[in-house]
Amino acid sequence: MKSAQKRDKFGFCPLWRFTSAPGSSMLARLRRQWGASVDKAVSIFSGEAMSEAVFSTVKSSQVILKELMVPSYANFGGKVHGGIILSLMDKIAYTCAASHAKGYCVTASVDSVDFLNPVEVGELLTLYASVNYVGKSSMEVGIKVVSEDFRQGIVKHTNTSYFTMVALDEKTRKPVAVPGLVLEDEEEIRRFVMGKLRKKLRRAHQQEVTDLRQSLSLDQEMAELEGENCQLAL
């Protein structure tokens, strides 16, 4: 099977493929969601040998981490400290990315982390990590965090976040190529597409912040401070 050698309207490069030819029902659903261009994005088996590019399945690097929230994790309010949860998220993100890259990885960026529900001492915290999207050397790892109260049988979604990890050579500390992703179902395709779009949005946001900084007028901004919760002491 060959991968598409040209980028499609989503900007995909040959770093994703199916393990088998999608059935007509799946193709119909994909066309309804993504349009006719899905025929260009989906690689169909042709019986020919695949290129030398290395691919790994999403499932091969998925990680689940469970940890009991002990009293030493509590903050002054009696809830589990947010820093503990962030540390666990960074740990599972590294484990997932390093498993896919088969090497050393670093955290490049983290999307906003919104805590939807507090985590109580005594609850079991479960973290799920999966590689959603890969570029040349970067990977987006999606993380879902769930807490469980054993006594009351209550399960709460704590938060979801996306970590951008980059594979590096341990000696030179320069980025190295990572395996492509084998997409085996519609959910994995959706996550790949959304990961690609999030990458574009992050770059656009960074450029927007840079443009705003360069065009900043201090006099104009100071005039707009009226009514804000601040006090000038020049």
Residue 117: inside a domain, yes or no?
A: yes
Q: Is residue 190 part of a domain?
A: no
* pLDDT for res 150: 86
Confidence category of residue 66, pLDDT binned at 50, 70, 90: very high
CATH code (residue 172): 3.10.129.10
How many domains in the chain?
1
Residue 130 in domain = yes
Residues with Cβ within 8 Å of 169's Cβ and at least 6 positions away in sequence, in order, are 103, 104, 175, 176
pLDDT at 41: 53
Q: For residue 13, count other CB atoms closer than 10 A to its CB.
A: 15
Cβ atoms of 175 and 168 within 8 Å: the answer is yes
The predicted pLDDT at position 217 comes to 83
Higher-scoring residue by pLDDT: 224, 98 = 98
pLDDT digits (tens, 9 = 90+) for 95-110: 999 999 999 999 999 9
Closest CA to 100 of 218, 34, 182, 208: 182
pLDDT given at position 216: 82
pLDDT in tens, 167-218: 999 999 999 999 999 999 999 999 999 999 999 999 999 999 999 888 888 8
The residue ranking higher by pLDDT, 88 or 112, is: 88
Residue pair 89/25 in contact (Cβ under 8 Å)? The answer is no
Range of the domain at 173: 59-178
| Residue 163 lies inside a defined structural domain of this protein | yes
Measure CA 3 to chain center. Answer: 23
User: Could you tell me if residue 33 is inside a domain?
Assistant: no
Count of CA atoms in the C-beta half-sphere (13 A) of 203: 5
Give the single-character DSSP code of 57: E
Residue 223 falls within a domain, yes or no?
no
Give the angle subtended at the CA of 72 by the CAs of 66 and 75, to the nearest 5°: 100
Q: 81 and 42 in contact (C-beta within 8 Å)?
A: no
What distance in Å separates the CA atoms of residue 29 and residue 35, rounded to the nearest whole number? 9
For residue 8, tell me if it sits in a domain: no
CA distances from 169 to 37, 173, 175, 181 (A): 36, 5, 6, 20
pLDDT tens for each residue of 8-54: 444 444 444 554 455 566 666 766 766 655 555 554 333 333 445 78
Assess if residue 85 is contained within a domain: yes
Q: Which pTM does this prediction carry?
A: 0.76
Q: List, for residues 126-163, the tens digit of each pLDDT value.
A: 999 999 999 999 999 999 999 999 889 999 999 999 99
